[in-house]
C-alpha cells in the first residue's frame, strides 16, 4: 500500500463519488458505497448525481447512527442546458460549485467515463496529492468519451466486457490501492431493513397479487415483442395474477393499453414516480422487464425479478447476486415466450 493511501486511511479520508446518471448506472454504482464504508467506517463519502436521481441515493444517507453517504450533491446539468441565458441557472450552477468545493477530497472516484462527469472532477476541491481515478478505456455497449482521461490522475484499465458493478469496483479498488473485489464479495445495494420497511403503494385497480411488466425502454431494439407479452400475460392471468403494465410517456401508455386489451384482468395504472416505484415493486409478486432502469431497481431491491435481454449483452447488467433473479435472452437472441413463462413460474410463490 502506498504511503499516500496509508496516510489517508489513518486520517479518515474524504471521498467523492461521481456517477451522474442514468437510473440503472446509478443503481449499479451503489455497492461501492458499502464497500468503502465496510473498510473505512470513518470516511466522509459524498456523491455527485443528476438531480433527477437523488431519490435513489436518499436511502443510503447517513442518519441516526447509520453510516452510508454523508452528502448528496445534486447536479442540474440537464435543466441548466435548457436555460443557459437565465440568471437563475448561473446562480444555481455557482451554488453547486460552492457545495462541491466546500470539502477538499482525498479521493475522487469517477466511474462514468464521460466529459460531463470528468468536468465535475475538475471542479472539485483537490489537494496536490488527491487521487482522481477514472476509466482508462471503454467497455462494449457503454458510453465513453476518451477526452475524460485527461482529467484523471489515475486511469484504470477494465475488461471490455466488464459488468457495470464490477467496473465500478475496479476503479474504486485501484484508487484505494486495494486488492480487487470479485463476485465472491456479494454486492449490497439497499439495506434489508430499508426494503422490508417500504410501505405498500395503493394502486387504483389492483385486485390481488400482481406482476409488474416493464415492457418499455428508451431504445426500441431492446423491447420484447408485444405478442410475447400477451402470451406471458395470459399465462399469468390464468394462474390468478393480475398483470400490471406501467408506462412513462404517452407512446408507452398506448403500448400498455394494446397489450392489456388481450390479457384478462390486466391493468394499465395511473402514472407513478420513480420514488413510488420502490413501493410498487416491493409489494409485487414478481417483476418482469426488459433491460431498463426499473427492472434493475427490482433486482437491486432483492425482489423476484425476470430480466429480459433482447439487444443488449447479458454480461453488462445481469443480476448475478441473488437466486431470485432470472436473466433470460442475450444480445441478438431474445428469449421465447415459453422461456420467460418458465422463468416466471420458477420465481412465483
pLDDT per residue rounded down to tens, the chain (349 residues): 443 444 444 459 999 999 999 999 999 999 999 999 999 999 999 999 999 999 999 999 999 989 999 999 999 998 999 998 999 999 999 999 999 999 999 999 999 999 999 999 999 999 999 999 999 999 999 999 999 999 999 999 999 999 999 999 999 999 999 999 999 999 999 999 999 999 998 899 999 999 999 999 988 999 999 999 999 999 999 999 999 999 999 999 999 999 999 999 999 999 999 899 999 999 999 999 999 999 999 999 999 999 999 999 999 999 999 999 999 999 999 999 999 999 999 999 8
Tell whether 10 and 74 lie within a shared domain: yes
Query: What is the pLDDT at residue 218?
Result: 86
Number of domains in the chain: 2
Last residue of a domain, one of 172, 189, 206: 189
CATH classification of the domain holding 266: 3.40.50.2000
Last residue of a domain, one of 189, 216, 245: 189
Q: Is 113 left (phi over 0), alpha (psi -120 to 50) or beta?
A: left
334 is written with which cell numbers? 431474445
Answer for the pair 230, 263: CB distance below 8 angstroms, yes or no. yes
Tell whether 42 and 165 lie within a shared domain: yes
Non-local (6+) Cβ contacts of 347 within 8 A are 286, 304, 305, 306, 324, 326
Tell whether 183 and 207 lie within a shared domain: no
Tell whether 220 and 177 lie within a shared domain: no
Answer for the pair 267, 274: CB distance below 8 angstroms, yes or no. no
Tell whether 50 and 118 lie within a shared domain: yes
Range of the domain at 200: 195-347
- DSSP reduced 3-state for 143: coil
- DSSP reduced 3-state for 325: strand
Non-local (6+) Cβ contacts of 32 within 8 A are 17, 109, 111, 168, 169, 172
Query: What is the pLDDT at residue 78?
Result: 87
Tell whether 255 and 167 lie within a shared domain: no
Tell whether 131 and 263 lie within a shared domain: no
Q: Looking up cell 460552492, which residue turns up?
A: 98
Tell whether 298 and 252 lie within a shared domain: yes
Tell whether 41 and 104 lie within a shared domain: yes
Tell whether 185 and 283 lie within a shared domain: no
Tell whether 122 and 201 lie within a shared domain: no
Query: What is the pLDDT at residue 202?
Result: 86
Non-local (6+) Cβ contacts of 158 within 8 A are 135, 136, 137, 139, 166, 167, 170, 171
- DSSP reduced 3-state for 8: helix
Answer for the pair 117, 109: CB distance below 8 angstroms, yes or no. no
Last residue of a domain, one of 145, 172, 189: 189
Tell whether 44 and 143 lie within a shared domain: yes
Amino acid at each position: 500500500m502506498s504511503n499516500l493511501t496509508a496516510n489517508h486511511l489513518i486520517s479518515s479520508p474524504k471521498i467523492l463519488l461521481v456517477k451522474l446518471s442514468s437510473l440503472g448506472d446509478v443503481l449499479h454504482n451503489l455497492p461501492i458505497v458499502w464497500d468503502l464504508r465496510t473498510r473505512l467506517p470513518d470516511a466522509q463519502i459524498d456523491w455527485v448525481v443528476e438531480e433527477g436521481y437523488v431519490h435513489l441515493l436518499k436511502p443510503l444517507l447517513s442518519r441516526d447512527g447509520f453510516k452510508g453517504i454523508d452528502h448528496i450533491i445534486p447536479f442540474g446539468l440537464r435543466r441548466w442546458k435548457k436555460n443557459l441565458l437565465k440568471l437563475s441557472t448561473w446562480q444555481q450552477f455557482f451554488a453547486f460549485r460552492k457545495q462541491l468545493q466546500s470539502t477538499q477530497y482525498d479521493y475522487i472516484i469517477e466511474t462514468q467515463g464521460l466529459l460531463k462527469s470528468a468536468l465535475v472532477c475538475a471542479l472539485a476541491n483537490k489537494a496536490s496529492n488527491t487521487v482522481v481515478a477514472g476509466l482508462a478505456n471503454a467497455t462494449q455497449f457503454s458510453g465513453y468519451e476518451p477526452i475524460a482521461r485527461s482529467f484523471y490522475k489515475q486511469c484504470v484499465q477494465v475488461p471490455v466486457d466488464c459488468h457495470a458493478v464490477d467496473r465500478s469496483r475496479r476503479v474504486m479498488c485501484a484508487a484505494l490501492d486495494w486488492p480487487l473485489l470479485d463476485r465472491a464479495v456479494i454486492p449490497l445495494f439497499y439495506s434489508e431493513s430499508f426494503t422490508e420497511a417500504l410501505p405498500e403503494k395503493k394502486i387504483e385497480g389492483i385486485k390481488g397479487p400482481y406482476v409488474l411488466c416493464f415492457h418499455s425502454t428508451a431504445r426500441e431494439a431492446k423491447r420484447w415483442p408485444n405478442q410475447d407479452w400477451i402470451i406471458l400475460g395470459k399465462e399469468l392471468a390464468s394462474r390468478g395474477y393480475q398483470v400490471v403494465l406501467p408506462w412513462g410517456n404517452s407512446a408507452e401508455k398506448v403500448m400498455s393499453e394494446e397489450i392489456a386489451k388481450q390479457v384478462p384482468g390486466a391493468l394499465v395504472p395511473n402514472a407513478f414516480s420513480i420514488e413510488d416505484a420502490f413501493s410498487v415493486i416491493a409489494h409485487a409478486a414478481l417483476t418482469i422487464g426488459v433491460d431498463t432502469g426499473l427492472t434493475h431497481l427490482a433486482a437491486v431491491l432483492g425482489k423476484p425479478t425476470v430480466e429480459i435481454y433482447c439487444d443488449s449483452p447479458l454480461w453488462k447488467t445481469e443480476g448475478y447476486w441473488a437466486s431470485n433473479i432470472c436473466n433470460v435472452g442475450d444480445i441478438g437472441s431474445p428469449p421465447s415466450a415459453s422461456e420467460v413463462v418458465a422463468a416466471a413460474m420458477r420465481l412465483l410463490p
